[in-house]
Each structure stands twice: as structure tokens, then as C-alpha cells.
Amino acid sequence: MIQKNILKLLLTIIISIHLSCSNGEVLYSSMSGEASYRYFVYVTNVTSNTVTAFESETSNGLLKSVGDYTIGGSAVSITAAPNGEFLYIATAATLYGFRIDRTFGTLTTLSGFPTTYPTSFRSIKVSANGEYLFTSNTVGSAVSYTIDRATGAINAKSTVTSGASGGEVAVDPFSRFVYFVDNNSQVYSYKINSDATLSAAPGSPLNGTAPFGIAAGADGQYVFTSSSGNGAITVYSLNQSTGALTVEASKGLTAYGGAGTFHLAASASGKYLFATNNTGVNKCLGVMDISNGSLSHTLSSSFSIGNGTCEGIAADPVRDFVFFADNNASGKVHGYSPIDRGAIFGNPFNAQVGPNRVTVVAIPK
């Protein structure tokens, strides 16, 4: 019994360290518990040019609107530091920045924003430690920025190649590496240096099959991409020193979600990978089990949640909930719990017209 208790204690310490960022700040610790955070979900609405803010109840994930905010264009991407300091939204060529109220989740525009850029954004992503912002654009380049933790201001540090047409961005959970997909055929890997400049990982870029969505696993061991053409999900193992990716052919799923499988999100526990489909033909949400990087759909291959036009998706950074946008005139946001194997309480929730991108934050109380 004593030996078992010692093992449990060691495992708890290891998990707590595992969930710490590179500068030693614990972002999310299993020792704290879900009740130690306030949860907020932010959804951009591409038709109404707005962002809807929701508070999410701790126990059941239920969403309650806390306000709508107007932005000057149709959003293409949204991101926030998972611990809820700042929120950034990209429209075609404009970047918006907001401070998140840590109690109520309301938004206040940051000084110096919005800012207009000469190229159109494709995707943006804040690192887990809240120190870096990465953007990809439609002309085949990506930019890294540092984030001022007091003001939210950003400072460009590095411009690199990210493919001819640009695509989504993923950052490993320890803020060591960043990955960009080119919608045509490739996956680009970079090591994040301490000054936010980027160094290409060995073997980058790797050839893919029309990759569109990308997500990094919660354990920092694997990266996943989706193909919008046939729905195949590819698994890559991640070199812990260099960030280089290696295709793990036996771990992925061929033609898993069908045409229109775009966006991916990995659960906080590392047990599940989620995918949305926006064709209106295939089911809206796919849920896959993850075991040592291998994917299966023993839980369920897909769920008829939404109207089949689902796009942006985001996993809760602490709880095993996932939220996704149903991009149709009814303006619905959906929540799902893989533990309960179904829609969360009160689902679906009303946003504005044309919800398309989602991000979730967990703010320490």
C-alpha cells in the first residue's frame, strides 16, 4: 500500500511538471482541479462581423453569453493564450487585439489595435506559454512575434516559408516548436528560439496529402493533420530535441472523415482527437481515441451534432470538452463531452450569424 501511494504521488508530480511551460510557470495543473479556473469561449461570426463571448459553467460546460463585439471584417482565425490574458482575431489583412477580463470574460480593445498588414492572414496561434504569436498568410510565408505580457503588444521577430497557399498553425504544448500546413501538399516544422525567431527543423517540409487542419497532442509527442480532400488523418511523431516530424503510417486513419474534413483539436487529457466536417454531407463532428499516438474510432466514428456545415473547433485547455461552430444562418455553437459521449448540457448555443472559428480559455481564479 505504501509503495502504491508513493507511486501515485510521483505520478502527480510528473503530470504537474509536464503541464508547466518552459519558464517554469504552471499553466494548468491536475493538482488544482477544474474548479480552480473560470472558463470562457469566444466565437467569431463571419457573416455578422462579430465575436461572441461566452462563459462556460465549470461542471457541465453550459455556455452563457456575456456579450457580442463588432470587428471590421470577416474573421479567418481567432486565438488566445490558454490562460486568458489576451485574445487576437485576424480578418483578411487586419489583426485585432483584446484584453480578456479575468472575472467576467468581457473584451477591451488593446492599444495599437487593430493593425492592418500588407498580406492576407490564413491562420494565427498563440503559444501555450502566452509569450509568442504565430501567423500564416495566403502568399506562403509565416511570421513569429513576441507578446508583451503587460500590454498585449506584439513585435515581429522572424519571417519564414510556410507553403504556397498557407494553412493552419499548431504549437506544441511546451512552446518549443511550431508547425504550419500548406493546403497544397506540405507540413513545415520550426524550432522556436528564445527570442521568438524560428529555425527550420531537420527534414522540413514534409510532403502530405492536401493537409488543411493541424493539431499538436497534449503530451508533446505527436502532431496530427487532416486532409480536406479525402478526410485522411495523418500522425507524425515529434523529435523532442529538434522538432522534426516523422510520419507514423500505421497510427493514422485513411479517409476517416470524408471530403470536407478540415479542422482538428486535441483534448486536454491527450485521449481524444476531434475533427469537423463542413460539406453538409458527412456528419459534423468526428471523435477519435488516441493511444500512444495511434488513432481509432472505437468511441464513435462521427456524431450528428450540427447541420453538417461545421468549421472551427477548439478543445478546452483543462476539461475534456470541445466546442465547435456550425456555420449556417441559425448561428449555433455546439459543445461535446467525450466522457459523457454526447452533447453537453443546453447544447446548442446561440451566437450571431455565420459562426466560423472558436477558441477556449481557462483563467486561474
pLDDT in tens, 170-224: 999 999 999 999 877 899 999 999 999 999 999 999 987 778 899 999 999 999 9
Q: How far apart are alpha carbons 127 and 173 in whole angstroms?
A: 8
pLDDT tops 80 at residue 302: no
Spatial separation of the C-alpha atoms in residues 263 and 284, rounded to whole Å: 11
- The Cα–Cα gap between 297 and 62 comes to 26
End-to-end CA distance of the chain: 35
Q: Sorting pLDDT into bands at 50, 70 and 90, what band is 25?
A: very low
**What confidence tens digit (pLDDT) does each residue in 306-336 have?**
555 788 999 999 999 999 998 876 788 999 9
Q: Are the CB atoms for 352 and 48 separated by under 8 Å?
A: yes
Residue 7 in this model has a pLDDT that exceeds 80: no
Q: What is the pLDDT of residues 210-224, one digit of tens each?
A: 788 999 999 999 999
Please state, in angstroms and rounded to a whole number, the distance separating the CA atoms of residues 8 and 6.
5
Q: State whether residue 260 is helix, strand or coil.
A: coil
Q: How many CB atoms lie within 10 A of CB 177?
A: 26
- Which residues, other chains included, contact 301 with Cβ-Cβ below 8 Å and sequence gap of 6+? 256, 286, 287
Which residue(s) pair with 128 in the sheet?
none
Residue 200 identity (one-letter amino acid) = A
Tell me the C-alpha distance between 39 and 66, whole Å: 12
pLDDT of residue 65: 97
* Among candidate residues 108, 106, 104, 84, the one with its CA nearest the CA of residue 96: 108
Q: Under a CB-based contact definition with an 8 Å cutoff, are residues 119 and 103 in contact?
A: no
Strand partners, 190: 178, 200
Q: Are strands 211-216 and 222-227 parallel, antiparallel or unpaired?
A: antiparallel
pLDDT exceeds 90 at position 29: no
Closest residue by Cα to residue 217 from 254, 182, 251, 255: 251
